[in-house]
């Protein structure tokens, strides 16, 4: 399994490098490139997009694996599975609404804090799966989902705003489209790879089926993805002060409509 994952990861990196070289050659030859050159030369934009990819793919994969684990591994009903997942949505909504207050205080470190909390939530899921008795497992996993939802709310919106602020004005529309496309690509890869890790580990143990071990391993994979995102967020934070004004609000980041200036 490790060799196959390494092979696919290497193939993705090689294809990405070939695409980057192809785009640079098109610019050198005077042709129109698919990716605006100003975007690839903006380090905060590139790093922020990579952070968004890792976080988005990890969060969706973790949710899918949790659903499979609860219903197929533990035999819980769809209604109880939804109830266990619901605190995650509530945590995301609450923390997203409050994230901008934290951004005013600590700036880009809000994203790093959210990613660190997400890593803690993923590792907590692995610990819960291995150590908590079956009777208490739904409650423990619901608490884990709440923690994960709060982490996502602190990460997604602030990171997206910072990424698009570093996109050059002449490539703002393309920058937003590439950010969304990159997240969808990450989601497609992670939604295939992480559940495969779970299924392989859950069914391939010598003692028979062990969904708890499979879920714990999948949580560790998600934690690893978030750890990569956290490392990528550090040089962006150290690269200079945030372009978010100290008293900025989400509404103030949106340019006024032309009719408002008439």
Within 10 angstroms of residue 85's Cβ, the number of other Cβ atoms is 18
Report the SS3 class of residue 178: helix
The confidence score (pLDDT) of residue 226 equals 95
Q: Is the pTM of this model over 0.85?
A: no
| CA 238 – CA 69 distance, rounded (Å) | 39
Residues 172-229 have pLDDT tens digits of 788 888 899 889 988 988 998 899 999 988 886 555 678 999 999 999 999 999 999 9
Q: Which phi and psi (to 5°) does residue 22 adopt?
A: -60, -45
| CA 40 – CA 33 distance, rounded (Å) | 11
The confidence score (pLDDT) of residue 260 equals 44
The confidence score (pLDDT) of residue 244 equals 41
Residues of the chain with pLDDT under 70: 1-6, 8-9, 32, 204-208, 236-262
Q: Which residues of 182-197 are buried (b: 16+ CB within 10 A; e: fewer)?
A: bbeebbebbbebbbeb
| CA 162 – CA 244 distance, rounded (Å) | 8
DSSP class per residue in 136-185: GHHHHHHHHHHHHHHHHHHHHHHHHHHHHHTS-GGGHHHHHHHHHHHHHH
CB 171 within 8 A of CB 163: no
| CA 81 – CA 67 distance, rounded (Å) | 7
| CA 260 – CA 262 distance, rounded (Å) | 6
Q: Please, what is the Cα angle at 214 between 212 and 216, to 5 degrees?
A: 70
């Amino acid at each position: 399994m490790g060799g196959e994952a390494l092979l696919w990861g290497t193939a993705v990196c090689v294809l990405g490098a070939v695409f980057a070289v192809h785009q640079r050659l098109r610019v050198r030859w005077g042709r129109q490139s698919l990716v605006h050159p100003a975007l690839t030369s903006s380090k905060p934009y590139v790093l922020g997009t990579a952070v968004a990819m890792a976080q988005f793919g990890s969060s969706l994969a973790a949710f899918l694996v949790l659903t499979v684990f609860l219903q197929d591994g533990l035999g819980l009903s769809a209604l109880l599975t939804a109830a266990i997942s619901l605190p995650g949505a509530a945590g995301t909504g609450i923390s997203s609404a409050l994230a901008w207050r934290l951004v005013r205080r600590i700036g880009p470190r809000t994203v790093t804090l959210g990613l660190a909390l997400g890593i803690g939530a993923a590792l907590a899921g692995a610990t819960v799966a291995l150590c908590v008795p079956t009777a208490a497992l739904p409650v423990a996993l619901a608490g884990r989902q709440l923690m994960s939802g709060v982490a996502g709310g602190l990460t997604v919106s602030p990171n997206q705003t910072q990424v698009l602020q570093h996109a050059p004005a002449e490539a703002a529309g393309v920058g937003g489209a590439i950010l969304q496309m990159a997240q969808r690509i990450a989601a497609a890869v992670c939604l295939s790879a992480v559940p495969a890790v779970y299924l392989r580990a859950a069914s391939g143990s010598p003692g028979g089926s062990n969904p708890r071990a499979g879920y714990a391993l999948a949580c560790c994979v998600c934690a690893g993805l978030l750890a990569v995102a956290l490392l990528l967020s550090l040089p962006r934070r150290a690269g200079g002060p945030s372009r978010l004004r100290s008293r900025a609000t989400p509404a103030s980041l949106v340019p006024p409509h032309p009719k408002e200036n008439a």
